[in-house]
Chains A and B, each alone.
Chain A
Amino acid sequence: MLLALALLLVQEGAVQGTVRSDPSGEPLPHAAVVVPELDRRVSADSRGFYVLAGLPAGSHRLRVVAMGHDTASFTAVVPQGGTVRMDLRVPVRGVALDVVEVRTDVQHPASRTGPGSVLMDRAEIKAQPALAEADAFRAVQALPSVAAVSDFSSAPYLRGSPQDHVVLTLDGAPLINPYHVAGLFSAIDPEAIAGVEVIAGALPADQPDRLSGAIHITTREGGRDRFRTTGGVGLVSSRVGVDGPLPGGGGSMLLSVRRTYLDAAVTGARALGLTRESFPYAFTDAHLKLTHDVGEAGTLSVSGYVNDERLRMPSAWASENVGWGWGSRAASVRFRRPLAERWLLDARLGTTSFSALLESRDWGRPLARSDMDNTVAGLEAARYGGTHRTTAGVAAELHRLDHDVTGTGADETGLVLPALQRDERVRSLAVFLNDEWTPGPRFGARAGLRILHVLDGATVVMPRVGARVGLRDDLALTFGAGRYAQTVRSLRDEESYVASLFAYDLLVAAPAAAPATSWDVVVGAEWTGARTALRVEAFGRGIDGMIMPPLADDPRDTPALVASDSIVGSGSARGVEVLLRHQGGRGSLMVAYTLAHAAREVDGTRYTPRFNRRHTLDATGTLRLGERGQGNARLAVSSGQPFTPLLSQHGGYRYDPNTGMWQPGQSPLVYGAHNSERLPAYLRLDLGIRRTYHRRLFGGEGAVTPYFQVLNAIGTRNVLWASPAQQSGRPVLEYGPQLPTLPTLGVEWRF
């Protein structure tokens, strides 16, 4: 028996390689590689790398499914006990128009062994009507797990957690505050993005240490066949990108740059003597990626990202000449190489920083300065066995968090900055081991362990499990659970109105001896048809050891930042999420529904956080209009966010023990329980239309795509906050507005 088993193992072989787009040669993240006659299927990773191990020796037909590409078939001849390398080039579908396509079989890449992540590719991101231009973070907010705190912030909130509980990465490098205009836009050029993966819960053991989830952005590597350029001009900014092969072949590059242009135009006009004014605001972001083959199957990639913003208030607007500059940087180096026949080595070094400086020429010194950086070095080795994929890795992380803020009192804008001097280092080391076991097409399970050690602090042991059981070929149940920890925290007070307007986090160290920890449990069901995929998940999450601010006596006085470390609170979230994706003959539809409960408990008071919406329905549709056009719509309907109602008014008096006399008070408003009522429901319809014209440009085939879109097309008066106030001595409820109707237009090109 053992001899027969040994012979069988010797006779088994493997196929490995990279799934690439044809003709560009760019890797296709998360493509599905299927061996139909064996009912075997694997998902390529974020770099398109796949391994089909445990195949019987002989000839096999491989079928590859990837978003935006035709399904392609290949024949692999598997040697006895050996591995054959095959790069699978899949022909792209369409050449100029970004077509939104639902491929129900490839958009849940991690679902073989547990609750899956969700993918959005560039076409899906660009198809959503957006504020001025496409935005990856706003696009993923159409998914059921991800929410926005307001129309003005693109920061992703995940299953009852704010953004600082979510790790954001760009090509493996962590990101800090990757936003423009206080969070109105994300600072990642959509044209550079290959795909966005959202892992909302039940994180596998290889995921970075955050309390809630992960959003990984993978950028394109660039075409290997020829140079291409892309560009666009919108209402806010213009962008240009170029990608193509590296000299000598064997690699590719991608460069994209985006910048506002109104300030530059005004500067030009001033140079010509047409004006003496200047425009106060500008942003720039740029992304560069170089990828080169190393040996037969290895790749080395270097990725860099810069985001810079400047704001200088004109003297006519401010009593002081105030300037504010801020921005973030990220860079990563990643080396991947198959070792032996079934091993993959993945080494990465990523670093990111965010710095901000608020200064006044009149003061002669900075009013506020913040410098944060985060460096991660990681090494992973994965072994692809016949039914097992085992991954082990280690990651060392350093946070340097330096803040020096001269405190400002409350002013008429309600912005309050506490005095803050902190200069901290957080060093941690994490090791993990994860095994995925897929003995058959209908069952998969994973078990992992991650251990996080904070230098001079605690060691947290975090088990992670997941499973998937197929009831039928098209129906499966999923389960996942895990424990998580986080070594840093944000000073943002999510109960502040300001948190709805500014997406930036100021990070500080969590207590090293007792970092915040969380757990979650996810159960789900997935049904996958030929044109439709339906996923339902229920989740529960608990968070302990969160440093939280005390609740302000008056919610309107809640400061934007709270420097206090003294209060430890807890949180919880639970809910049900439904995601439906459907591909029709002329278009596609994605419907997401979320029922979400979230709670915080601090100082004996339990309340719903201000960012929570109980019910959210998000529907995104695209419709082909003729051969060259595409219409897009997004409808968002949700419950209002919580607010603290007015309960009563109170004729309070002041007592002077010196004299034993009373003095009249101010008749303050008395609030009810914190966040115990809801704002009016939210409704927003965004519409967009784009049409592509093919032209010969610079000697090559090109495409020009003008677009027009309207946000809040029906002009709903959505509410950002409701605040009791007194007008002429009588209480009224004042409302803060969300986005008004906002038409935008622009044009894109590629050739």
Chain B
Amino acid sequence: MAFLIRALAVAAAAASAGCLRVPEPILPVVESVAVHAVLDTGGREAVVLVTRFPPGATQAVPVTDAEGEVGRGGVSVALAADAGAPCRFEAGAAVASGCYRASLAEPVAPGDEWWLRVTLAGGETARGEVRVPLAPEIREPAGEEIRLQFSSRDGGTVVDAPLRWVWADAAARLGQRFGPATGFGAGAVLNAHCHAAARIEDAPAGTVPPLGETHARLLVHGAACQAAGGPVAWDSIRVPLLWVATDTAAARYLSAAHAGTGIRPQRASAGLRGAFGVFGATTTVRRTITILPPP
């Protein structure tokens, strides 16, 4: 019987396959140009990545002969090509980036409105505008650091701290995240990999920031430092906690562009006209959580 069932399945598959058109190679009808640039509050440099994706290519190729400028109001700075530079790619990323840089006369500040123009040798021009989101107001923890400590039954460190803040910019999409942890011992930075098992609970998610004060909880279930020779004793571990405000268009792009293998054109660009990619801005507020071992 199993043979009969499988034979029927194979026959059905074969019949369907007999009626199936073979996949046809297709060429994207449009050569795409991508511009990527994100301005960070406090930064004095604009870095712009320019690439193109020719029909039939398997990966993007850098554009090295573009010219452009970035500015605020009537004041602008020309972009300078920085060919061959890693251009703010993480170490080890084998990317030819088409890197352009511009030194800004003043640091990027919340509320500023910046514009970008990139013109390729063929005359195609991409233009973008972005308003730098305002910084959120962090109400708790109140100071630069908090020190909370409870002993759990298994000897680990447990932190359960309330968080309160107010998003200042309703047009921005925001998120909280942790920065890399740093361990300290005997008054010095430890040469070890330190890690805090931490998470934020009850923070509302979504694309629209909630109005008014937002409440959440910071939970740290454990912490440890590890060196090549094994566990390392530590006096404290500092974990940066970041509130990142990103302009809404850029946030959508950064979350959608890599969610699947296909995207819609309106999701393939944010803050830009004439190219795929993103021209966005972020404003980050940091608080450092200091975790102490149990007494």
Measuring CB to CB, which residues of chain A are less than 8 angstroms from any residue of chain B?
266, 269, 275-280, 314, 316, 551, 553-557, 645-674, 680, 712, 715-719, 724-727, 729-742
Contact = CB atoms under 8 A, between A and B. Distances in A.
A265 B212 CA distance: 69
Contacts of A551: 264
A425 to B, nearest CB: 31
B27 A731 contact: yes
Given A661-B89, A732-B25, A715 B19 contact: yes
Interface string B151-172: 0000000000000000000000
Nearest to B262: A554
A663 B89 contact: yes
A556 B53 CA distance: 23
A658 B282 CA distance: 10
| Most A CB within 10 A of own CB, among B43, B49, B88, B268 | B268
Given A646-B26, A732-B23, A732-B25, A555 B2 contact: no
Nearest to B175: A657
A737 B16 contact: yes
Contact of A671 (B18, B264, B282): B264
Interface in B1-59: 1-2, 4-5, 15-21, 23-32, 34, 36, 38, 40, 43, 49, 51-53, 56-59
Contacts of B57: 649
A666 to B, nearest CB: 6
Contacts of B95: 662, 664
A647 B26 CA distance: 10
| Most A CB within 10 A of own CB, among B2, B38, B262, B276 | B262
A732 B21 CA distance: 12
Contact of B261 (A278, A655, A669): A669
B265 interface: yes
Contacts of A650: 32, 34, 53, 60, 257, 263, 268, 276
B32 A668 contact: no
A657 B244 contact: yes
B99 to A, nearest CB: 10
A717 B20 contact: yes
A678 to B, nearest CB: 15
A555 B284 CA distance: 35
Nearest to B95: A664
Nearest to A734: B23
Nearest to B94: A664
Interface of B: 1-2, 4-5, 15-21, 23-32, 34, 36, 38, 40, 43, 49, 51-53, 56-60, 87-90, 93-95, 97, 177, 179-180, 242, 244, 246, 254, 256-265, 267-268, 276-278, 280, 282, 284
A652 B32 CA distance: 11
B26 A266 contact: no
B19 A739 contact: yes
Given A650-B53, A658-B179, A742-B15, 18 more contacts: A276-B1, A554-B261, A557-B260, A557-B262, A648-B30, A648-B31, A651-B34, A655-B36, A657-B284, A658-B242, A662-B87, A664-B95, A718-B19, A729-B58, A730-B56, A735-B21, A737-B17, A741-B15
Nearest to A278: B1
Nearest to A669: B262
B15 A740 contact: yes
Contacts of A727: 23
Contacts of B276: 648, 650, 652, 670
Contacts of B19: 712, 715-718, 737-741
Given A658-B179, A715-B19, A717-B20, A664 B89 contact: yes
Contacts of A553: 256, 259-260, 262-264, 267
A718 B15 CA distance: 13
Contacts of B25: 730-733
Contacts of B246: 657
A526 B73 CA distance: 69
Given A658-B177, A732-B24, A651 B60 contact: yes
Contact of A667 (B5, B60, B278): B60
Given A662-B88, A733-B26, A734-B23, A668 B262 contact: yes
| Most A CB within 10 A of own CB, among B29, B89, B263, B280 | B263
Contacts of B94: 664
A654 B258 contact: yes
| Most B CB within 10 A of own CB, among A672, A715, A717, A731 | A731
A557 to B, nearest CB: 6
A278 B94 CA distance: 55
Nearest to A672: B265
A734 B25 CA distance: 9
Contacts of A658: 177, 179-180, 242, 244
A658 B15 CA distance: 54
A651 B244 CA distance: 25
A740 B15 CA distance: 6
Contacts of B180: 658
A734 B20 CA distance: 9
A494 B20 CA distance: 23
